[in-house]
Amino acid sequence: MTARRIDLDVDGLVRTVQVEKVGDRFTITIDGRTHVVDATEVEPGRWSLLMDGSCASHDVRVRTRGPGEMSVKVNGASIAVGLRDPRRSRHAHAAADGPARIVAPMPGKIVRLLVGPGDAVAVRQGLVVVEAMKMENELRAPRAGTVSEVAVQEGAVVEVGAVLVTIA
């Protein structure tokens, strides 16, 4: 199986997940951290997971709530999970008429700022370059507008979900 990459909204934070089946296990990378997972379906929608060679089993229940939305319970704790639409910008949070906040998709280092406060930007224009795991990722504008804030500086280390640029 080739690796599949998806972006999930997990309790309000964007998480980038890559899943690949390797033999009878899965390699799952979440925001740059890789885990080896042995998953057994106990019943439809309920899984027993062993992670990273641990003997401790995690009880995971998944229930679909609507298109692209699900409720996940991990050892009894509920988590709201939504599948991010890949046709929209993967790294932007925006109300329909509010500001668009461009957030870090993974922990990394800001290597280049391509815009500054007051700059006019076009749809899909590059805004900032984040380096993670020796790869550079250019984050782009989800819509046209004016940069109202640049919340980071070149060289800064950021965590996943950190607001980098805001477009009004």
| Residues 75 and 61: beta-carbon distance below 8 Å | no
Q: pLDDT band at residue 93, thresholds of 50, 70 and 90?
A: very low
What's the CA angle centered on 124, arms 70 and 136, to 5 degrees? Answer: 80
**Domains, the chain, ranges and CATH?**
4-83 (3.30.700.30), 92-167 (2.40.50.100)
What is the Cα–Cα distance from 51 to 65, expressed in whole angstroms? 26
What is the token pair recorded at 122? 């076009």
What's the CA angle centered on 85, arms 30 and 158, to 5 degrees? Answer: 40
Predicted TM-score of the model (pTM): 0.47
pLDDT at 89: 43
What is the Cα–Cα distance from 103 to 161, expressed in whole angstroms? 5
Bigger pLDDT: 163 vs 91: 163
- Which range, of 98-102, 112-116, 120-124, 139-143, averages the lowest pLDDT? 98-102
Phi/psi for 141 (5° steps) reads -70, 130
Q: Which residues contact 87 (CB under 8 A, 6 or more apart)?
A: none
What is the token pair recorded at 95? 């109300």
pLDDT at 155: 95
The mean pLDDT value for 110-125 works out to 94
